[in-house]
Structure 1
């Protein structure tokens, strides 16, 4: 690691002021991506602004027909929350699939969303549920927030403060895990709210999370895994790497989509 300053603000206001004042500073949440890259000297911020002591960024609550989760809420807390399990059980199940217990005890939902790893799970839930990403400056629809691999719509000085998930009638997530990292080689989040049906894919797209509109149209006619038989994602826009080539990932996406619909439909 290169030398850096360390700041630990105890309020969002102080964190925002530090981010504006300290040149080339980085926000520290769970640290699962930032700290390893710093150790490898692939990142060299002048300062870290640690959000772990900012109380207003933590918490889970139900507000009307929306589930609101603070950005610094741990994966483990999303997984075990009775509120999440009641409101959107698929989201609690997704959190349980992230990494291992050590990762879930330190990693945060806001850190995952802001990092936008192309194989992360939460982006699929955000897009699939039509979530809104709230920052200290504005509200951003999930589909506008995720802009590319490790890229988001966040601007300089912005900090993710919470994520608002609409409550849907049915939802489920299914993924094929890398056996070592447990990242998604292909993960599909399916959600049904009235006539609005969304199928969001993570781990497979060359530009990150994306929606499968052809699958969505098929499910609008009949919300059943049988509606997806014969449908496949185009391999042209998918990732190919040492773990799975584009054709294999296309097949995985189709299988994970059918499994997610089957779970959502209670089959």
Structure 2
């Protein structure tokens, strides 16, 4: 199939890119194009203007510091996945990245592009929510920072305005000594998640939880923090009854209806299984300090 007719511009400054977006209500940003171009070929997207940002100065590079990882708008998934400095600061990033599509797509697709697409079954939005990250959007009025839990609003809908460009995403580091884990259920490896769960967890010397973050994708119209489960797990020694209570408190978060390939009941069962497994895996890593 072929895309509809569109105009194309390739600005070299962020100011020009924003100006082009502001001048056409049906203009869209083109970065990696791994989602946008197929959507155009299927006529699911019909922009009048593509604003290609690959030549815009200042939109490349990964910065790693004490406050986490800053990923610029044109950083490809594969760049982030293979960055040794990122692995040292936050090995959860690489663990999640291995589940994103396939290597050819990760080589072209951009991290920020995935966040802006806002698919509720995608891994990168979940990661940003799980870590409590944020994005920086730039538009005609300047820059603003948007927290991850405010950025993802509904199915394929984010808080980015049409005339804004998300110029970077900020992924906080793991807390010192914390364990982490991520896994998902898919029809095939590389598909979007039916259900995905991530966990970051810290323990005291007695093995009790001093802090935990849980998030899931594929279960609602956006990635969600499982805050009720977090509250029930904090302060516990992660006994069977503690995990049972956390799972039970999380099941109402499944709001995706039955569909052709999977029922809501199956999603609830998968969510419960993944919560148990990811909490156990994160706790084991917290106890041993291992990266495996």
Q: Give the TM-score, by structure 2 length.
A: 0.84
Q: Say whether residues 1:254 and 2:272 are aligned partners.
A: yes
**Which stretch of the first structure deviates more once superposed, 96-105 or 222-231?**
222-231
CA distance in 1: counterparts of 2:130 and 2:269, whole angstroms: 20
Which of these residues, 99, 104, 107, is aligned with residue 97 of structure 1? 99
**Which stretch of the first structure deviates more once superposed, 33-42 or 245-254?**
33-42
CA contact 2:99–2:190 (8 Å) conserved in 1? no
Residues 168-187 of structure 1: matches in 2 within 5 Å? Answer: 168-169=174-175, 170=178, 171-179=180-188, 181-187=190-196
Number of residue equivalences: 266
**Which stretch of the first structure deviates more once superposed, 122-131 or 25-34?**
25-34
Which consecutive unaligned segments of at least 5 residues does structure 1 have?
A: none
- Structure 1 residues 92 and 181, CA gap change in structure 2 (3 angstroms): closer
> Following TM superposition, by how much is the alpha carbon of 1:184 offset from its aligned partner in structure 2, in angstroms?
0.6
Residue 161 of structure 1 is matched in structure 2 by 167
Residue 129 of structure 2 is matched in structure 1 by 127
> Following TM superposition, by how much is the alpha carbon of 1:164 offset from its aligned partner in structure 2, in angstroms?
1.2
CA deviations on 1:100-150 (whole Å, 9 max, x unpaired) are: 111110111111111101111011111110001111120011111110000
CA distance in 2: counterparts of 1:229 and 1:150, whole angstroms: 32
- Structure 1 residues 16 and 34, CA gap change in structure 2 (3 angstroms): same
Higher gyration radius (CA): 2
Residues 59-78 of structure 1: matches in 2 within 5 Å? Answer: 59-78=61-80
Residues 179-218 of structure 1: matches in 2 within 5 Å? Answer: 179=188, 181-192=190-201, 195-205=210-220, 207-218=221-232
> Following TM superposition, by how much is the alpha carbon of 1:261 offset from its aligned partner in structure 2, in angstroms?
1.9
Matched position secondary structure for 1:190: strand
Residue 112 of structure 1 is matched in structure 2 by 114
- Structure 1 residues 223 and 177, CA gap change in structure 2 (3 angstroms): farther
- Structure 1 residues 76 and 225, CA gap change in structure 2 (3 angstroms): farther
CA contact 1:113–1:122 (8 Å) conserved in 2? yes
Q: Say whether residues 1:142 and 2:160 are aligned partners.
A: no
Which consecutive unaligned segments of at least 5 residues does structure 2 have?
A: 204-209, 286-292
CA deviations on 1:29-71 (whole Å, 9 max, x unpaired) are: 2212211121122222111011222242221112322221112
CA deviations on 1:77-118 (whole Å, 9 max, x unpaired) are: 111111111111011111111011111101111111111011
CA distance in 2: counterparts of 1:161 and 1:193, whole angstroms: 32
Residue 32 of structure 2 is matched in structure 1 by 30
- Structure 1 residues 104 and 72, CA gap change in structure 2 (3 angstroms): same
Matched position secondary structure for 2:162: coil
CA distance in 1: counterparts of 2:75 and 2:211, whole angstroms: 28
- Structure 1 residues 63 and 38, CA gap change in structure 2 (3 angstroms): same
Matched position secondary structure for 1:215: helix
RMSD: 2.0
CA distance in 2: counterparts of 1:228 and 1:96, whole angstroms: 27
- Structure 1 residues 97 and 167, CA gap change in structure 2 (3 angstroms): same
CA distance in 2: counterparts of 1:266 and 1:9, whole angstroms: 49
CA distance in 2: counterparts of 1:228 and 1:190, whole angstroms: 13
